[in-house]
Structure 1
Amino acid sequence: MAPTPPQDRRPIVISGPSGVGKGTPIQKLFHAHPDTFTTTISHTTRKPRVGEVDGTIADQTAKGLVIVLDIDVQGVKQVKASPDIDARYVFIKPPSFEKLEARLRSRGTEREEDVLKRLVRAKVELKYANTLDIFDIIVVNDDLEWAYRELEEYVFR
């Protein structure tokens, strides 16, 4: 029996500060519901990530797939401004700013100045998400399984 796709087939835009842990819930969603979701590549010079498909949103939707976009807040603003895209918006936030900072620093892959830039950007993104009615749902990623279940419930309601 094929899995039941979400009733709401609009693209799902997922945003949140760097280091918040957006990638893992998204990967779990793709893994738990194969042949249901896809991503597209938007204006990037990097090579496609696993699961990303080069093509327009309309092309992927026509194939019966629900598009999931993992983009920053600037990208959210652009998608919101586009009259051609009717999407659902999810913001993933950390349980606290201190925990986000600890996550970024624990990676050990970035210079201090880069960590500080990410933290400044994160403050702006968190303020944006908390003060404006931009996102349909805000998921606090304090526990990966809980965050994933909350995302999945929203997507399939």
Structure 2
Amino acid sequence: MHKGTLYVFTGPSGTGKGTLLSRVMEGDDKVFYSISATTRAPRPGETDGVQYYFLSKADFEQKIAQDAFLEHAKYVDNYYGTLEAPVNEKLDAGCDVVLEIEVQGAMQVHEKRPDAVLVFIAPPSFEELAQRLRGRGTESEEKVQKRLETARREMQYADRFDYVVVNDEVDRAVDEIRGILALRRT
């Protein structure tokens, strides 16, 4: 049995990573979506163990000390990380695994797993990104500004990725990502 491929998807908050990946993965039983752990509070409609594993700061830091994460990062005052054991299990079983993580974490995965395929999701413009973040209506203007400052830094990493997909039109971006997955499976 061949080992699965590890795909790392990242990009600034508000670029539509989750929307694109949910569409790409519809009906594709060869791909496992790795759920990240976080210390941030759940947003409306989010459930523990579905979108994220919601952990206390103390629990998260204990797992860091136990080296239980493939990657972890602090982003906008919260921890995020990928538990290594479930990823390895799926890869060893021949499944492809998708990580949707922050840029910091993607760089950590790249160091530990140079065979991982790195995909950067970019907004069509910085102005569009700001509009999307404000349009969510889930955060204060102060938090939106923090996310925009972080996005400026993250955009500087795009050239370190195997692929850059601009999410200017969802259907087109989904087709591009499906093409990347198909290339790696042949």
Amino acid at match of 1:49: V
- Report the aligned-residue RMSD: 2.4
Select 2:18's aligned residue among 23, 26, 44. 23
Q: As a proportion of its length, which structure holds more strand?
A: 2
Select 2:31's aligned residue among 37, 44, 55. 37
Aligned-partner Cα distance in 2 for 1:24–1:60? 23
Select 1:76's aligned residue among 84, 106, 114. 106
Q: Sequence identity of aligned pairs in percent?
A: 41
Report Cα offsets for 1:111-144 as digits up to 9, x if no partner.
0110000000000011121xx4x21110000000
Which residue is 1:127 aligned to? 156
Matched, 1:99 2:128: yes
Report Cα offsets for 1:86-131 as digits up to 9, x if no partner.
20000000000000000001111100110000000000011121xx
Report Cα offsets for 1:6-60 as digits up to 9, x if no partner.
x993200000100000011111122131x211123455357222599x7432211
Matched, 1:142 2:168: yes
Report Cα offsets for 1:52-85 as digits up to 9, x if no partner.
9x74322111222100000000101110121x56
Aligned-partner Cα distance in 2 for 1:127–1:8? 32
Contact 1:39 1:68 in 2 (8 A): yes
Amino acid at match of 2:6: P
Which residue is 2:177 aligned to? 151
List gaps (5 residues or longer) in structure 1: 1-6
Contact 1:14 1:70 in 2 (8 A): yes
Change beyond 3 A, Cα 1:126–1:51: closer
Aligned-partner Cα distance in 2 for 1:43–1:63? 22
Which residue is 2:50 aligned to? 49
Aligned-partner Cα distance in 1 for 2:161–2:174? 17
Aligned-partner Cα distance in 2 for 1:135–1:71? 13
List gaps (5 residues or longer) in structure 2: 41-47, 54-82
Which residue is 1:4 aligned to? none
Aligned-partner Cα distance in 1 for 2:24–2:122? 18
Which residue is 2:9 aligned to? 14
Which residue is 2:137 aligned to? 108
TM value normalised by structure 2: 0.71
Contact 1:30 1:37 in 2 (8 A): yes
TM value normalised by structure 1: 0.83
